[in-house]
Protein backbone atom coordinates (compact mmCIF):
# COMPACT_ATOMS: atom_id res chain seq x y z
CA UNK A 1 0.00 0.00 0.00
CA UNK A 2 1.23 3.49 -0.81
CA UNK A 3 2.39 5.76 2.01
CA UNK A 4 2.82 9.51 2.34
CA UNK A 5 6.34 10.42 1.26
CA UNK A 6 7.99 13.77 1.85
CA UNK A 7 11.36 13.53 0.11
CA UNK A 8 11.07 10.59 -2.32
CA UNK A 9 8.35 9.53 -4.74
CA UNK A 10 5.98 6.59 -4.95
CA UNK A 11 6.68 3.85 -7.44
CA UNK A 12 4.58 3.59 -10.62
CA UNK A 13 1.04 2.50 -9.75
CA UNK A 14 -0.71 -0.80 -10.43
CA UNK A 15 -2.44 0.77 -13.45
CA UNK A 16 0.96 1.46 -15.02
CA UNK A 17 1.99 -2.15 -14.42
CA UNK A 18 -0.96 -3.48 -16.44
CA UNK A 19 -0.34 -0.98 -19.23
CA UNK A 20 3.37 -1.78 -19.39
CA UNK A 21 2.91 -5.56 -19.42
CA UNK A 22 0.27 -5.48 -22.18
CA UNK A 23 1.49 -2.48 -24.18
CA UNK A 24 2.73 -4.35 -27.28
CA UNK A 25 0.11 -7.10 -27.47
CA UNK A 26 -2.65 -5.39 -29.46
CA UNK A 27 -5.23 -5.22 -26.69
CA UNK A 28 -7.70 -2.40 -26.06
CA UNK A 29 -6.71 -1.16 -22.61
CA UNK A 30 -9.19 1.10 -20.82
CA UNK A 31 -8.35 3.05 -17.67
CA UNK A 32 -11.57 4.20 -15.99
CA UNK A 33 -10.54 7.63 -14.77
CA UNK A 34 -10.89 11.35 -15.42
CA UNK A 35 -9.78 12.78 -18.75
CA UNK A 36 -6.07 13.62 -18.81
CA UNK A 37 -5.03 11.16 -16.11
CA UNK A 38 -3.52 8.86 -18.72
CA UNK A 39 -0.80 11.47 -19.24
CA UNK A 40 0.73 10.41 -15.92
CA UNK A 41 1.37 6.99 -17.41
CA UNK A 42 2.16 8.15 -20.94
CA UNK A 43 4.66 10.87 -20.05
CA UNK A 44 6.31 9.42 -16.92
CA UNK A 45 5.98 5.62 -16.87
CA UNK A 46 6.09 4.59 -20.54
CA UNK A 47 9.20 5.24 -22.68
CA UNK A 48 7.61 3.51 -25.69
CA UNK A 49 4.75 6.01 -25.89
CA UNK A 50 6.31 8.29 -28.52
CA UNK A 51 7.84 5.46 -30.55
CA UNK A 52 5.26 2.71 -30.68
CA UNK A 53 1.45 2.98 -30.96
CA UNK A 54 -0.76 1.19 -28.47
CA UNK A 55 -4.51 1.03 -27.81
CA UNK A 56 -4.43 2.59 -24.35
CA UNK A 57 -7.42 4.81 -23.61
CA UNK A 58 -8.89 6.79 -20.73
CA UNK A 59 -12.66 6.64 -20.14
CA UNK A 60 -12.94 10.40 -19.41
CA UNK A 61 -14.86 9.83 -16.20
CA UNK A 62 -16.85 12.95 -15.29
CA UNK A 63 -17.88 14.28 -11.89
CA UNK A 64 -21.55 13.60 -12.56
CA UNK A 65 -20.82 9.96 -13.43
CA UNK A 66 -18.58 9.56 -10.39
CA UNK A 67 -21.36 10.72 -8.08
CA UNK A 68 -24.33 8.92 -9.63
CA UNK A 69 -22.60 6.11 -11.52
CA UNK A 70 -22.99 5.40 -15.21
CA UNK A 71 -21.76 1.94 -16.15
CA UNK A 72 -23.94 1.91 -19.26
CA UNK A 73 -21.98 4.85 -20.67
CA UNK A 74 -18.67 3.08 -20.05
CA UNK A 75 -19.93 -0.13 -21.68
CA UNK A 76 -21.30 1.76 -24.69
CA UNK A 77 -18.00 3.62 -25.24
CA UNK A 78 -15.86 0.50 -24.86
CA UNK A 79 -18.03 -1.48 -27.29
CA UNK A 80 -17.86 1.37 -29.83
CA UNK A 81 -14.06 1.62 -29.51
CA UNK A 82 -13.71 -2.15 -29.85
CA UNK A 83 -15.74 -2.18 -33.07
CA UNK A 84 -13.48 0.52 -34.52
CA UNK A 85 -10.13 -0.92 -33.44
CA UNK A 86 -10.80 -4.71 -33.50
CA UNK A 87 -8.34 -5.48 -30.68
CA UNK A 88 -6.97 -8.88 -29.71
CA UNK A 89 -8.55 -8.52 -26.26
CA UNK A 90 -10.01 -5.84 -23.97
CA UNK A 91 -8.89 -4.93 -20.45
CA UNK A 92 -10.73 -2.71 -17.97
CA UNK A 93 -9.45 -1.32 -14.70
CA UNK A 94 -9.75 1.81 -12.64
CA UNK A 95 -8.27 4.54 -10.51
CA UNK A 96 -9.04 5.45 -6.88
CA UNK A 97 -12.19 7.21 -8.12
CA UNK A 98 -13.52 4.00 -9.66
CA UNK A 99 -12.62 2.15 -6.46
CA UNK A 100 -14.64 4.56 -4.34
CA UNK A 101 -17.53 4.23 -6.81
CA UNK A 102 -17.43 0.45 -6.37
CA UNK A 103 -17.15 -0.21 -10.11
CA UNK A 104 -17.57 -3.91 -10.91
CA UNK A 105 -14.97 -4.33 -13.66
CA UNK A 106 -15.36 -8.08 -13.94
CA UNK A 107 -19.11 -7.70 -14.35
CA UNK A 108 -18.67 -4.97 -16.95
CA UNK A 109 -16.07 -7.10 -18.75
CA UNK A 110 -18.59 -9.93 -18.97
CA UNK A 111 -21.16 -7.64 -20.61
CA UNK A 112 -18.61 -6.17 -23.02
CA UNK A 113 -17.42 -9.63 -24.08
CA UNK A 114 -21.01 -10.71 -24.75
CA UNK A 115 -21.62 -7.66 -26.95
CA UNK A 116 -18.31 -7.73 -28.86
CA UNK A 117 -17.28 -11.38 -28.91
CA UNK A 118 -13.78 -10.24 -27.92
CA UNK A 119 -12.07 -11.73 -24.82
CA UNK A 120 -12.51 -9.10 -22.10
CA UNK A 121 -10.98 -8.93 -18.64
CA UNK A 122 -11.61 -6.77 -15.59
CA UNK A 123 -8.78 -6.15 -13.14
CA UNK A 124 -8.79 -5.11 -9.52
CA UNK A 125 -6.72 -1.94 -9.21
CA UNK A 126 -6.83 1.12 -7.01
CA UNK A 127 -3.81 3.24 -7.87
CA UNK A 128 -2.71 2.63 -4.28
CA UNK A 129 -0.35 -0.27 -4.97
CA UNK A 130 2.79 -0.46 -7.08
CA UNK A 131 3.25 -1.55 -10.67
CA UNK A 132 4.15 -5.06 -9.47
CA UNK A 133 0.55 -5.75 -8.43
CA UNK A 134 -0.80 -4.62 -11.79
CA UNK A 135 1.74 -6.40 -13.97
CA UNK A 136 1.36 -9.67 -12.06
CA UNK A 137 -2.42 -9.62 -12.73
CA UNK A 138 -1.82 -8.94 -16.42
CA UNK A 139 0.75 -11.73 -16.80
CA UNK A 140 -1.43 -14.18 -14.91
CA UNK A 141 -4.34 -13.32 -17.23
CA UNK A 142 -2.17 -14.07 -20.28
CA UNK A 143 -0.96 -17.38 -18.83
CA UNK A 144 -4.45 -18.55 -17.92
CA UNK A 145 -6.29 -17.45 -21.06
CA UNK A 146 -4.02 -17.24 -24.09
CA UNK A 147 -1.18 -19.75 -23.90
CA UNK A 148 -2.06 -22.79 -26.00
CA UNK A 149 -1.11 -26.40 -25.37
CA UNK A 150 1.19 -26.93 -28.35
CA UNK A 151 2.93 -30.13 -29.40
CA UNK A 152 6.67 -29.75 -28.95
CA UNK A 153 9.06 -30.80 -31.66
CA UNK A 154 12.63 -31.78 -30.85
CA UNK A 155 15.01 -28.84 -30.83
CA UNK A 156 18.79 -28.66 -30.89
CA UNK A 157 18.70 -25.69 -28.51
CA UNK A 158 16.94 -25.05 -25.21
CA UNK A 159 13.79 -22.99 -25.74
CA UNK A 160 12.98 -20.33 -23.16
CA UNK A 161 10.41 -17.68 -22.36
CA UNK A 162 11.69 -14.44 -20.84
CA UNK A 163 9.06 -13.45 -18.29
CA UNK A 164 8.56 -10.17 -16.47
CA UNK A 165 10.48 -7.83 -18.75
CA UNK A 166 8.95 -4.36 -18.93
CA UNK A 167 10.58 -0.92 -19.21
CA UNK A 168 9.48 -0.22 -15.64
CA UNK A 169 12.20 -2.60 -14.40
CA UNK A 170 14.59 -2.79 -17.36
CA UNK A 171 14.32 0.66 -18.90
CA UNK A 172 14.55 1.26 -22.62
CA UNK A 173 18.27 1.75 -23.04
CA UNK A 174 19.60 -1.65 -24.09
CA UNK A 175 18.97 -4.15 -21.28
CA UNK A 176 16.38 -6.00 -23.37
CA UNK A 177 18.86 -6.39 -26.23
CA UNK A 178 21.60 -7.44 -23.81
CA UNK A 179 19.38 -10.23 -22.43
CA UNK A 180 18.63 -11.34 -25.99
CA UNK A 181 22.40 -11.53 -26.56
CA UNK A 182 22.85 -13.52 -23.33
CA UNK A 183 20.30 -16.06 -24.59
CA UNK A 184 21.96 -16.25 -28.01
CA UNK A 185 25.45 -16.65 -26.52
CA UNK A 186 24.19 -19.62 -24.48
CA UNK A 187 22.41 -21.20 -27.45
CA UNK A 188 18.96 -20.59 -25.97
CA UNK A 189 16.16 -19.84 -28.42
CA UNK A 190 13.53 -17.36 -27.22
CA UNK A 191 9.93 -18.44 -27.79
CA UNK A 192 8.35 -15.32 -26.29
CA UNK A 193 9.45 -12.27 -24.36
CA UNK A 194 6.86 -11.29 -21.74
CA UNK A 195 6.66 -8.55 -22.88
CA UNK A 196 9.06 -6.37 -24.88
CA UNK A 197 9.64 -6.92 -28.57
CA UNK A 198 6.89 -9.52 -28.86
CA UNK A 199 3.26 -9.96 -29.89
CA UNK A 200 0.27 -11.95 -28.72
CA UNK A 201 0.82 -14.77 -31.21
CA UNK A 202 4.26 -15.40 -29.73
CA UNK A 203 2.80 -15.32 -26.21
CA UNK A 204 0.27 -17.96 -27.30
CA UNK A 205 3.16 -20.24 -28.30
CA UNK A 206 4.82 -20.01 -24.87
CA UNK A 207 4.03 -23.66 -24.07
CA UNK A 208 6.74 -24.61 -26.57
CA UNK A 209 9.39 -23.46 -24.09
CA UNK A 210 11.51 -25.91 -22.13
CA UNK A 211 12.18 -23.41 -19.32
CA UNK A 212 10.68 -20.11 -18.21
CA UNK A 213 13.22 -17.49 -17.10
CA UNK A 214 11.54 -15.21 -14.54
CA UNK A 215 13.26 -11.82 -14.60
CA UNK A 216 10.93 -9.96 -12.22
CA UNK A 217 8.67 -10.80 -9.31
CA UNK A 218 5.66 -9.60 -11.32
CA UNK A 219 5.87 -12.77 -13.47
CA UNK A 220 6.20 -15.35 -10.68
CA UNK A 221 2.48 -16.14 -10.57
CA UNK A 222 2.31 -16.53 -14.35
CA UNK A 223 5.32 -18.87 -14.33
CA UNK A 224 3.58 -21.02 -11.72
CA UNK A 225 0.45 -21.17 -13.90
CA UNK A 226 2.53 -22.36 -16.88
CA UNK A 227 4.25 -24.92 -14.67
CA UNK A 228 0.91 -26.30 -13.50
CA UNK A 229 -0.75 -26.29 -16.94
CA UNK A 230 2.15 -27.31 -19.18
CA UNK A 231 4.79 -28.70 -16.76
CA UNK A 232 7.36 -26.05 -17.73
CA UNK A 233 9.94 -25.49 -14.97
CA UNK A 234 11.06 -21.98 -14.16
CA UNK A 235 14.28 -20.39 -13.03
CA UNK A 236 14.31 -17.01 -11.29
CA UNK A 237 17.07 -14.44 -11.68
CA UNK A 238 18.56 -11.73 -13.86
CA UNK A 239 21.82 -12.28 -15.82
CA UNK A 240 23.78 -9.42 -14.23
CA UNK A 241 27.55 -9.78 -13.88
CA UNK A 242 28.65 -13.23 -12.73
CA UNK A 243 25.00 -14.23 -12.37
CA UNK A 244 24.78 -14.46 -16.16
CA UNK A 245 26.79 -17.69 -16.06
CA UNK A 246 24.92 -19.06 -13.03
CA UNK A 247 21.54 -18.35 -14.56
CA UNK A 248 22.51 -20.06 -17.81
CA UNK A 249 23.65 -23.12 -15.84
CA UNK A 250 20.34 -23.16 -13.97
CA UNK A 251 18.43 -23.05 -17.26
CA UNK A 252 20.35 -26.06 -18.57
CA UNK A 253 19.84 -28.00 -15.34
CA UNK A 254 16.10 -27.23 -15.24
CA UNK A 255 15.69 -28.21 -18.89
CA UNK A 256 17.24 -31.57 -17.98
CA UNK A 257 15.63 -32.40 -14.62
CA UNK A 258 12.46 -30.21 -14.81
CA UNK A 259 13.08 -28.70 -11.38
CA UNK A 260 12.50 -25.04 -10.50
CA UNK A 261 15.52 -22.98 -9.46
CA UNK A 262 15.84 -19.57 -7.84
CA UNK A 263 18.91 -17.37 -7.48
CA UNK A 264 19.29 -15.67 -4.12
CA UNK A 265 21.78 -15.44 -1.29
CA UNK A 266 20.62 -16.85 2.03
CA UNK A 267 21.77 -15.86 5.49
CA UNK A 268 21.96 -12.58 7.38
CA UNK A 269 23.74 -9.55 6.01
CA UNK A 270 25.21 -6.45 7.58
CA UNK A 271 24.71 -2.95 6.23
CA UNK A 272 28.10 -2.33 4.57
CA UNK A 273 26.21 -1.91 1.27
CA UNK A 274 22.49 -1.17 0.98
CA UNK A 275 20.67 -1.80 -2.30
CA UNK A 276 17.13 -0.62 -3.11
CA UNK A 277 15.09 -2.33 -5.79
CA UNK A 278 12.63 -4.88 -7.09
CA UNK A 279 13.47 -8.15 -5.26
CA UNK A 280 14.49 -10.45 -8.15
CA UNK A 281 16.79 -7.83 -9.65
CA UNK A 282 18.13 -6.86 -6.22
CA UNK A 283 18.86 -10.50 -5.26
CA UNK A 284 20.75 -11.04 -8.52
CA UNK A 285 22.75 -7.84 -8.02
CA UNK A 286 23.65 -8.91 -4.47
CA UNK A 287 25.00 -12.22 -5.77
CA UNK A 288 26.93 -10.46 -8.55
CA UNK A 289 28.50 -7.99 -6.10
CA UNK A 290 29.77 -10.89 -3.95
CA UNK A 291 29.84 -8.64 -0.88
CA UNK A 292 27.85 -7.93 2.27
CA UNK A 293 24.70 -6.32 0.88
CA UNK A 294 21.39 -5.54 2.53
CA UNK A 295 18.30 -5.09 0.37
CA UNK A 296 15.49 -2.62 0.86
CA UNK A 297 12.39 -3.78 -1.00
CA UNK A 298 9.77 -1.04 -1.53
CA UNK A 299 7.32 -3.14 -3.59
CA UNK A 300 4.61 -5.53 -2.38
CA UNK A 301 6.52 -8.78 -3.02
CA UNK A 302 9.36 -9.46 -0.58
CA UNK A 303 10.76 -12.45 -2.50
CA UNK A 304 13.40 -14.28 -0.38
CA UNK A 305 14.43 -11.29 1.71
CA UNK A 306 16.87 -12.38 4.41
CA UNK A 307 17.69 -11.38 7.98
CA UNK A 308 18.94 -7.80 7.89
CA UNK A 309 16.98 -6.90 4.76
CA UNK A 310 14.13 -4.42 4.98
CA UNK A 311 10.67 -4.76 3.44
CA UNK A 312 9.20 -1.32 3.87
CA UNK A 313 7.27 1.49 2.25
CA UNK A 314 8.01 3.88 5.13
CA UNK A 315 10.32 6.74 4.22
CA UNK A 316 11.75 7.12 7.72
CA UNK A 317 12.56 3.40 8.00
CA UNK A 318 14.42 3.65 4.70
CA UNK A 319 16.25 6.79 5.79
CA UNK A 320 17.50 5.09 8.96
CA UNK A 321 18.70 1.97 7.12
CA UNK A 322 20.40 3.96 4.35
CA UNK A 323 22.33 6.15 6.75
CA UNK A 324 23.74 3.12 8.55
CA UNK A 325 25.47 2.02 5.32
CA UNK A 326 28.88 2.81 3.86
CA UNK A 327 27.62 2.48 0.28
CA UNK A 328 24.13 2.90 -1.18
CA UNK A 329 23.08 1.61 -4.62
CA UNK A 330 19.71 3.02 -5.64
CA UNK A 331 17.73 5.28 -7.92
CA UNK A 332 19.13 8.85 -7.68
CA UNK A 333 15.83 9.94 -6.09
CA UNK A 334 17.03 8.30 -2.87
CA UNK A 335 19.97 10.70 -2.60
CA UNK A 336 17.47 12.93 -0.80
CA UNK A 337 17.46 10.52 2.16
CA UNK A 338 21.22 9.95 2.41
CA UNK A 339 23.86 12.08 4.14
CA UNK A 340 26.59 13.49 1.92
CA UNK A 341 29.39 11.45 3.50
CA UNK A 342 27.89 8.13 2.28
CA UNK A 343 29.09 6.81 -1.07
CA UNK A 344 26.03 6.79 -3.34
CA UNK A 345 25.99 4.81 -6.62
CA UNK A 346 23.29 5.83 -9.05
CA UNK A 347 21.23 2.98 -10.52
CA UNK A 348 18.10 4.56 -12.04
CA UNK A 349 14.90 2.53 -11.91
CA UNK A 350 12.22 3.67 -14.37
CA UNK A 351 9.38 2.53 -12.07
CA UNK A 352 10.71 4.89 -9.41
CA UNK A 353 11.86 8.05 -11.16
CA UNK A 354 10.36 7.67 -14.63
CA UNK A 355 12.13 9.66 -17.31
CA UNK A 356 13.99 11.94 -14.88
CA UNK A 357 17.23 9.96 -15.21
CA UNK A 358 16.59 8.10 -18.47
CA UNK A 359 19.91 9.27 -19.96
CA UNK A 360 21.77 7.77 -16.98
CA UNK A 361 20.18 4.32 -17.09
CA UNK A 362 22.99 1.79 -17.49
CA UNK A 363 22.98 -1.55 -19.28
CA UNK A 364 23.76 -3.86 -16.36
CA UNK A 365 23.24 -7.25 -18.02
CA UNK A 366 26.31 -9.52 -18.16
CA UNK A 367 29.62 -7.63 -18.22
CA UNK A 368 27.70 -4.35 -18.26
CA UNK A 369 27.25 -4.78 -14.50
CA UNK A 370 30.89 -3.77 -14.06
CA UNK A 371 29.73 -0.17 -14.39
CA UNK A 372 28.11 -0.65 -10.96
CA UNK A 373 30.64 -3.05 -9.42
CA UNK A 374 33.63 -0.86 -10.26
CA UNK A 375 32.16 1.94 -8.13
CA UNK A 376 31.82 -0.20 -5.00
CATH of the domain at 90: 3.40.50.1980
pTM of the model: 0.94
Identify the bridge partners of residue 240 per DSSP, sorted by sequence position.
365, 366
Tell me: pLDDT of 288 over 70.
Answer: yes
19 lies in the same domain as 98: yes
pLDDT digits (tens, 9 = 90+) for 20-39: 999 999 999 999 998 777 77
Of the pLDDT bands very low, low, confident and very high (cuts 50, 70, 90), residue 270 is confident
In a domain, 22, yes or no: yes
pLDDT digits (tens, 9 = 90+) for 323-368: 999 999 999 999 999 999 999 999 999 999 999 999 999 999 999 9
Which of 75-84, 258-267, 312-321 is most confident?
75-84
Domain count, the chain: 3
- Angle, helices 131-145 vs 220-230, to 10°: value is 20
255 lies in the same domain as 291: no
- DSSP codes of every residue in 192-247: EEESSS--HHHHHTGGG-SEEEE-SGGGHHHHHHHHHHH---EEE---BTTHHHHH
Task: Name which residue leads in pLDDT, 212 or 95.
Answer: 212
In a domain, 217, yes or no: yes
Q: What is the DSSP letter of 127?
A: S
In a domain, 48, yes or no: yes
Question: Tell me, what's the pLDDT at 4?
Answer: 61
Note down the domain range covering 185: 158-262
Last residue of a domain, one of 241, 262, 283: 262
Q: What is the DSSP letter of 45?
A: I
Question: Tell me, what's the pLDDT at 241?
Answer: 96
3-class secondary structure, 71: helix
Amino acid sequence: MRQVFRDVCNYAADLAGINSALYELGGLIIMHDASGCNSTYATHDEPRWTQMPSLIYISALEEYDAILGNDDKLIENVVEAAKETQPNFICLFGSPIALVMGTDFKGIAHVVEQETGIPTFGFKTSGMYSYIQGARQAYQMLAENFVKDTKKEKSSSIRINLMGMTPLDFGYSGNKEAIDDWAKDNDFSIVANWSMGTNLEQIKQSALADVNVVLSSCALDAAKVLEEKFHIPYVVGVPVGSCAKTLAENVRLSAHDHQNREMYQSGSHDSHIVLIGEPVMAQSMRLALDDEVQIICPTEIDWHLQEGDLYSHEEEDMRKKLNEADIVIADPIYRRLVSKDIHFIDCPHWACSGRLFKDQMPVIIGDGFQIIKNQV
